[in-house]
Amino acid sequence: MLAAMLLAGCGSGDDGGTSGGRDGGTGGGAVGGDLTGTLTVFAAASLTGVFTDLGDRLEADHPDLDVQFNFAGSSALATQITQGAPADVFASANTGQMNVVADADLADGEPEVFTANVLEIAVPAGNPADVTGLADFEREELALAVCAPEVPCGAAAEDVFAAAGVTARPDTQEEDVRAALTKVELGEVDAALVYATDVAAAGDSVEGISFPEAEDAVNDYPVCVLADAPNPAAARAFVELVLSDEGRTALADAGFRTP
Amino acid sequence: MRRRRARGGQGSVPVPLLVPAVVAVAFLVLPLVGLLVRTPWSELGSQLTAPGVGQALRLSLVSASLATAVSLVLGVPLAWVLARSRIRGRGVLRALVTVPLVLPPVVGGVALFLVLGRQGIVGRWLDEAFGITIPFTTTAVVIAETFVAMPFLVISVEGALRAADARYEEAAATLGADRWTTFRRVTLPLVAPGIAAGAVLCWARALGEFGATITFAGNFPGTTQTMPLAVYLALQRDPESAIVLSLVLLVVSLATLLLLRGRWLGRAGAAP
C-alpha cells in the first residue's frame, strides 16, 4: 500500500502530475487510477462549500483516493502546519498566513493565487435598521459586528473603513467571519461586515449590501502543495483542479471572484 | 490514627499509586513548562504594559468574581434542594443542572441568545418593556460565565451536603430550630469547606471561560474582551504575546487561589 503510494508519487512527479489536469479534470478514468491513499487539505473556512464539492469530484475520478478536509481560520491552519500537522495542501484566505508557511520553507514551490473575496455588508432579512452603506457603521444606536483586527476579515474591514473615512462604532469584534454572520442570522446585530461568499452561502436569513470601498480590500486566496506532503501526487492533482476552469466555475458559483 | 501515620512514614506512597500520580503530574504540568520555555522573557515588560492587557485582566477578574458571587447566591440553595429536599423529579433536576457541563460552550452562548438576546424569548420583552439589551455588554459576560461555571459549584456543594452528617441538623430540629435557621446556623458552617472548594472551581472555570462569552457577549476591548478572548485573538497575530498573556492569567489565578487557600486552610487548621 505504502509502496504503491510512493510509486504513484514518483510516476506523476515525472510527468508533472497531469492527472486531473488543469483542463477537464473530470475526464479519463484511466489516468485516475494512479492516485490512492488519503489526501489531507487544510483550507480556509470560507472555502468549505466549494472545496468539499471539488474534493468529491476528485474522489469520483480516483476511487482509491480519500480526500479529507480541515476547514478553519487561516491563521489557525498556518499554526498547525508550522507545528508539523500532516497536511498535503494549504489554501489560505490571505497572503499573510500563506507567507507564514512559505517563510518556514514548508511550501513546495511558489504559492499560487486562485481566487479572491471582497467584503459585503450583511443585514438580517428585511434589513430592519435600513442599512444602506458603510456610513451606517457610525450609527451609535445600531448593534454592529465587525471582525477583530487580528483576523483577516477584520484587517480588511479596517482598510475599507479607512478608505471610506468612516469611524466605525462596532459593538463586537468577532473572532472570525462565521461568528459575525451568525449574529446577523440570529438577528442580534443590525449589520455585520463579512465576505460576499458568506452572504451567498447564508441563504434567505441574510441579505447582502455591496459597497464601492470594498475594492480597497480585495483578499487574495493563495494555495500550495506542502513540502512535507505525505501524498504529493494527490496534492498536485487537487491544486490543479482548483486552478482549472472547472475549479474557477465552482468558485464563481459560490460568490468568489477571479483573481 | 496518629500512631498509624507515624508508623507508615510520610515517604511511603504505595507504588501502584505513586506511578500513576507521577504520570498525572507530568501530564498536567508539562504543558505549563512548554509555555514557560517559549515565553519571550526579554519582551515580557513591553508585553505586560501593552495597552489593553491590564484592561482585559481587570475585566476577567471582576466578571469571574461576579459570576462566582451570583453562583453562590443561587447555587448553594439549589444544591441544598438537590441534596436535602424530597421534591419529586430531583434526578431530572440534577441532570438538567449539569447540562451546561456537557454542552459545548459555544452552543451555550447561542442558547443564551435564544433566551436573552434581542430576539430571544425573555430578551425581546426586556428590550420592548425597559429598553434593556443584554448581548455585547459586561453583564452578558457575567451571565455567560455564570451559566458555564455555576454547575461546578452546585455539584461540589451538593456532594459536601450529602457527605455531611445529617444528625447535627436533626439535633438542631429537635431543639426547636426551623429549617431555615438550621440551614444558616448548622448546615452552612458544616459544609463551608465544600462551598469554598466549589467556589474556587467555579471561579477558575469562569476565569477561563471562552466559548459562551465570545458568542453571547461578543468581543470588545474594555467591555467584553476578557483575557481568554485576548489570548485567542493575540494568537492570530502574534503567538508570543499570546504566550505572555496566558502566563499573566495563569500567575494571577494561581496567586489568587494560593492566597485564598492559605486563608481557608489557616482557618480550618485553627479550628480543632
Q: Which among B220, B221, B234 has CB closest to A171? A: B220
Distance CA A142, CA A132 (A): 13
Residues of chain B contacting A174 with CB distance shorter than 8 Å: 214, 218-219
Q: Which residue does chain A place closest to B218, by CA atoms?
A: A172
A173 touches chain B (CB under 8 A): yes
Task: Provide the 8-state DSSP code for B42.
Answer: G
Domain tally, chain A: 2
Asked if the structure places residue A18 within a domain, the reply is no
Rounded percentage of chain B residues whose pLDDT exceeds 90: 56
pLDDT value at residue A43 = 96
Name the pLDDT band for A30 (thresholds 50, 70, 90). Answer: very low
Distance CA B187, CA B197 (A): 16
| Averaged pLDDT for residues B80-105 | 90
| Averaged pLDDT for residues B55-67 | 95
Domain limits for position A208: 119-216
| Averaged pLDDT for residues A144-148 | 95
Asked if the structure places residue A25 within a domain, the reply is no
| Of the candidates A192, A185, A231, the residue with the CA atom closest to the CA atom of residue A209 | A192
* A145 and A194 part of one domain: yes
Q: Residue A16 — φ and ψ, nearest 5°?
A: 75, 20
Most confident of B65-69, B92-96, B238-242: B65-69
* A126 and A210 part of one domain: yes
- Say yes or no to pLDDT of A248 above 60: yes
A148 touches chain B (CB under 8 A): yes
Name the pLDDT band for B9 (thresholds 50, 70, 90). Answer: low
CATH number at residue A159: 3.40.190.10
* A134 and A102 part of one domain: no
* A207 and A224 part of one domain: no
Question: Are A143 and B118 in contact (CB < 8 Å)?
Answer: yes
pTM (2 d.p.): 0.77
* A208 and A135 part of one domain: yes
Asked if the structure places residue A228 within a domain, the reply is yes
Q: Which among A145, A175, A187 has CB closest to B232? A: A175
Asked if the structure places residue A6 within a domain, the reply is no
Question: Are B119 and A170 in contact (CB < 8 Å)?
Answer: no
Asked if the structure places residue A202 within a domain, the reply is yes
Write the CB contacts of B105 (distance below 8 Å, at least 6 apart in sequence).
Answer: B148, B209, B210, B211, B212, B213, B215
* A171 and A225 part of one domain: no
Question: Are A143 and B135 in contact (CB < 8 Å)?
Answer: yes
**Interface mutation vs chain B, best among A173, A185, A205, most B CBs within 10 Å:** A173
How does pLDDT run across A219-240, given as a tens digit for each residue? Answer: 899 999 999 999 999 999 999 9
B257 touches chain A (CB under 8 A): no
* A112 and A227 part of one domain: yes
Task: Provide the 8-state DSSP code for B135.
Answer: T
A242 is written with which cell numbers?
A: 482548483
- Say yes or no to pLDDT of A108 above 60: yes
Rg (CA), chain B: 22
* A111 and A227 part of one domain: yes
Asked if the structure places residue A170 within a domain, the reply is yes
A25 touches chain B (CB under 8 A): no
- CB-CB contact of B56 with B230 (8 Å): yes
pLDDT value at residue B173 = 87
Closest CA–CA distance from residue A208 to any residue of chain B (Å): 20
Closest CA–CA distance from residue B62 to any residue of chain A (Å): 20
* A150 and A166 part of one domain: yes
Asked if the structure places residue A9 within a domain, the reply is no
**Interface mutation vs chain A, best among B119, B134, B219, B240, most A CBs within 10 Å:** B219
* A59 and A87 part of one domain: yes
Could you tell me if the ipTM is greater than 0.85?
Answer: no
Lowest mean pLDDT among A15-29, B6-20, B89-103: A15-29
* A112 and A162 part of one domain: no
A79 touches chain B (CB under 8 A): yes
**Comparing A258 with A114, which gets the higher pLDDT?**
A114
* A147 and A205 part of one domain: yes
A151 touches chain B (CB under 8 A): yes
How does pLDDT run across B231-261, given as a tens digit for each residue? Answer: 998 887 788 888 888 888 888 888 888 887 7
Q: Which residue does chain B place closest to A190, by CA atoms?
A: B118
Residues of chain A contacting B108 with CB distance shorter than 8 Å: none
B135 touches chain A (CB under 8 A): yes
pLDDT value at residue B32 = 86
Q: Which residue has the cell 474591514?
A: A157
How does pLDDT run across A35-60, given as a tens digit for each residue? Answer: 899 999 999 988 988 999 999 999 99
**Side chain identity, residue A224:** C
Asked if the structure places residue A63 within a domain, the reply is yes
Closest CA–CA distance from residue A171 to any residue of chain B (Å): 6
Task: Provide the 8-state DSSP code for B183.
Answer: I
**Side chain identity, residue B211:** G
Q: Which residue does chain B place closest to A183, by CA atoms?
A: B215
